[in-house]
Chains A and B, each alone.
Chain A
Amino acid sequence: NAGVTQTPKFRVLKTGQSMTLLCAQDMNHEYMYWYRQDPGMGLRLIHYSVGEGTTAKGEVPDGYNVSRLKKQNFLLGLESAAPSQTSVYFCASSPGQGSQPQHFGDGTRLSIL
């Protein structure tokens, strides 16, 4: 049972480059989330989705775009990477019902030079 899988695990980009982070879940969860984790700041929500074809902004959405074309996949895009986007990115999913917890992937460590 894979749970939540994130690819890639590591990536180094140059300023201005673009890339897409992929999140896949095999638990048939409705809700999916993208967070970034920075030292001393906990996890901050970038974007989330409450179902296939839907997306919504979180706390820190600027500079990122997302898509949820298939229920099991949630993509996070950086159109023009900036050094401030150097971070560890986590994807999570949940059934979205009441007290059900979110399940997390192992993260993508992204460095922007």
Chain B
Amino acid sequence: AQSVTQLGSHVSVSEGALVLLRCNYSSSVPPYLFWYVQYPNQGLQLLLKYTSAATLVKGINGFEAEFKKSETSFHLTKPSAHMSDAAEYFCAVRASFGNEKLTFGTGTRLTIIP
């Protein structure tokens, strides 16, 4: 079984401030982890993924995430928020074997304050 918890359904940060979106996962086998971004009226786009090659993963648009097994976390960060980062962000988990399905968190809507 696998599950994802995203803490905070809404997060607001000032332009230029640090962005931190939290994701905790549960998986009975080593996981693959993904962060997706959804802009209004669009589908989901892959930001980055963890596949066990490196615990710190860099993605597009300046985002990165760190896999911490001891904390079962995969938090998403960006050093300096930009207005264009306003969107909804989803964390997802998939078992590394034996399961072709993704399980999504409920999402975090990021608002950037000018």
A residues near B (Cβ < 8 Å) are 4, 31, 33, 40-45, 48, 50, 58, 90, 92, 94, 96, 98-99, 101-107
Q: Nearest chain-B residue to A99 (Cβ)?
A: B51
Q: What residues of chain A lie closer than 8 Å to B104, measured between beta carbons?
A: 42-44
Contact A104 B44 (CB under 8 A): yes
Q: What is B's interface to A at a CB cutoff of 8 Å?
A: 9, 32, 34, 36, 41-46, 49, 51, 90, 94, 96-97, 100-102, 104-107
Q: Which of A40, A102, A107 contacts B102 (CB 8 A)?
A: A102
B32 & A90 in contact (Cβ 8 Å cutoff): no
With A42-B104, A48-B101, A58-B101 already in contact, the answer to whether A90 and B43 are too (CB < 8 A) is yes
Main secondary structure of the interface of B (DSSP, over half): loop
Complex Cα spacing A96 to B13, Å: 36
- Residues of chain A lying within 8 A (CB to CB) of residue B41: 106-107
Asked if A40 contacts B9 (CB within 8 A), the reply is yes
Smallest CB-CB A-B distances: 9 pairs: A104-B43, A99-B51, A42-B106, A42-B104, A104-B44, A43-B104, A106-B43, A99-B32, A101-B46
Docked Cα-Cα span, A58 to B99, in Å, equals: 12
Contact B43 A105 (CB under 8 A): yes
Contact A43 B90 (CB under 8 A): yes
A–B Cβ pairs within 8 angstroms, 7 of them: A42-B107, A43-B44, A43-B90, A98-B51, A99-B32, A104-B43, A107-B43
Chain A residue nearest to B48 (CB atoms) is A101
Shortest beta-carbon distance, B41 to chain A, in Å? 8
Identity of the chain B residue whose Cβ is nearest the Cβ of A109 in the assembled complex: B41
A106 to B38, CA, bound (A): 10
The answer to whether B9 and A99 touch across the interface, beta carbons within 8 angstroms, is no
Residues of B within 8 A of A40 (CB): 9, 106-107
A96 to chain B: which residues have CB within 8 Å? 100
CB pair B105–A90 under 8 Å, yes or no, is no
For B49, list chain A residues within 8 Å (CB).
99, 101
Most B CB contacts (10 A, CB to CB) among A41, A44, A99, A103 go to: A99
Let me know if A42 and B51 touch, CB within 8 A: no
